[in-house]
Amino acid sequence: MTNSSLFAEAKRFIPGGVNSPVRAFRNVGGEPFFVSRAKGSHLWDIEGRELIDYVGTWGPAILGHAPDVVVEAVREAAMAGLSFGIPNPLEVEIARLICTWVPSVEKVRMVNSGTEATMSCIRLARGFTGRKLIVKFEGCYHGHVDSLLVKAGSGALTHGAPDSAGIPPELAQLTIAIPFNDPERLAETFQKFGQEIAGVIVEAVPANAGLFLPRPGFYEELRRLCDQHDTLLIFDEVMTGFRVAKGGYQELAKIKPDLTAMGKVIGGGLPVGAFGGRNEIMNLLSPDGPVYQAGTLSGNPLAMAAGLAQLRELERVDGWGKLEHIGQQLESGVRSVLGQLGRDYQFHRLGSMFCLFFTEKPVWSFADALQCDLTAFRKFFHGCLQRGVYFAPSQFETGFLCLMHSAADVDKTTDVIDRCLRLV
């Protein structure tokens, strides 16, 4: 069986042949490959090709693929039962750990995906404030939530359809999308709609249209305006949570959101999301309060065991310090290649998250990211893949490092980047 023959078969039974659009390679052309095995920093496809992986299952694989400590924890949990649908002790353990590591979270509820987490934050913000409007930022992607697929990034962006079909315009009208890093637009929006805005949701570091950082002072102003108007500030830390620091980006930025959406790293590779925040808000959730939210598999013992094992291992080995070190190695390699080639492409990195923008102009927003040379990116992507390095199949995604990326991996990657940049 080849990747191509299996993809043809997949397309007969699965829409587009994939279970999530960004996997279909539409933004880079060609066809996806099928993975047969993943371990550490490497993937193997069904044709036996070995790749250094910088997608890391889109973020969760921070220790590397299939780390022994997580696999063993899942095995042990499985022996005791796969799902109970009634409380199990691991749920309490992970809730305690999250509330300890992320001080803005006083209570947390576990769900099965980042999408469920952001969707629940929106409902909770509306329930708490009794208001309808939600503000989001252009290019920020918060999963495929109806209210948030407005000027979104990730697969919604790469397919050229930021607004999905199937979302009633009446609902989309309740979402105001404004540019990121633009304090004037933010102030104007609050001036006009301040008393109607239930919540402002932001990817703590926008990472679904490439990776761009908040300008100094932007989040302080956002926090101030939310407080002034009794609007909830919702940080989507699905990508950054437990990855950029133990307490997520809010720890680094020293900003306390009212609600936080989490996912990816927290599940150790199993389907897990979570959302949490201040007691007075979280206490509105059913069964204590009137905001309904539920899930048969929420708090699933295997998923909780995997997440706990991953988080504890990260802490035990000072994962964040080590990832910063690996990130610095990659960054210095990429910058030296760019320097030698005389290319001023923008390279952004925050710890173990990174993005090479194919533009020489600074990138602070979605509009800036859209200026990238996508033809050059496509050539670069396929060149790297052919040479054994797998980056995300879109300019508008973020690369992820894991603890298993070795100096040899980084050296090979730098060399491949050098050769492939010469092609474009």
Q: Which residues does the annotation mark as catalytic?
A: 141, 236, 264
Give residue 15's Cα distance to chain centre. 23
Name the residue nearer to ligand HOZ (CB basis): 199 or 206.
206
Closest separation between CB of residue 221 and ligand HOZ, Å?
26
Distances (CA, A) of 130 to 126, 195, 196, 226, 308: 5, 10, 9, 15, 35
Inter-residue contact 239 to 264 (CB < 8 Å) = yes
Q: Indicate the residue whose CB is closest to ligand HOZ.
A: 20
Closest separation between CB of residue 379 and ligand HOZ, Å?
22
Closest separation between CB of residue 393 and ligand HOZ, Å?
10
The residues of the shown chain that bind ligand HOZ, judged by CB under 6 A, are 20, 22, 58, 154-155, 208, 397
Rounded-to-10 torsion of CA 53, 58, 62, 66: -70
Name the residue nearer to ligand HOZ (CB basis): 110 or 209.
209
Residue 395: CB partners within 8 Å, gap ≥ 6? Answer: 27, 210, 357, 358, 369, 372, 374, 377
Name the residue nearer to ligand HOZ (CB basis): 59 or 127.
59
Name the residue nearer to ligand HOZ (CB basis): 258 or 397.
397
Torsion-angle region of 21 (φ positive above 0: left; ψ -120 to 50: alpha; else: beta): alpha
Name the residue nearer to ligand HOZ (CB basis): 30 or 271.
271
Closest CA to 163 of 179, 145, 185: 145
Closest separation between CB of residue 175 and ligand HOZ, Å?
19
Closest separation between CB of residue 231 and ligand HOZ, Å?
25
Closest separation between CB of residue 367 and ligand HOZ, Å?
19
Closest separation between CB of residue 394 and ligand HOZ, Å?
8
Give the 3-state secondary structure of residue 317. coil
Strands (E), 143-282: 175-178, 197-203, 232-236, 259-263, 273-277
Name the residue nearer to ligand HOZ (CB basis): 19 or 100.
19
User: CA–CA separation, 410 vs 401, rounded Å?
Assistant: 10
Structural tokens at position 283: 């206490």
User: CA–CA separation, 299 vs 292, rounded Å?
Assistant: 17
Residue 318 burial by Cβ neighbours in a 10 Å radius (0-12, 13-18, 19+): exposed
Name the residue nearer to ligand HOZ (CB basis): 155 or 247.
155
Inter-residue contact 57 to 268 (CB < 8 Å) = no
Structural tokens at position 323: 């990832």
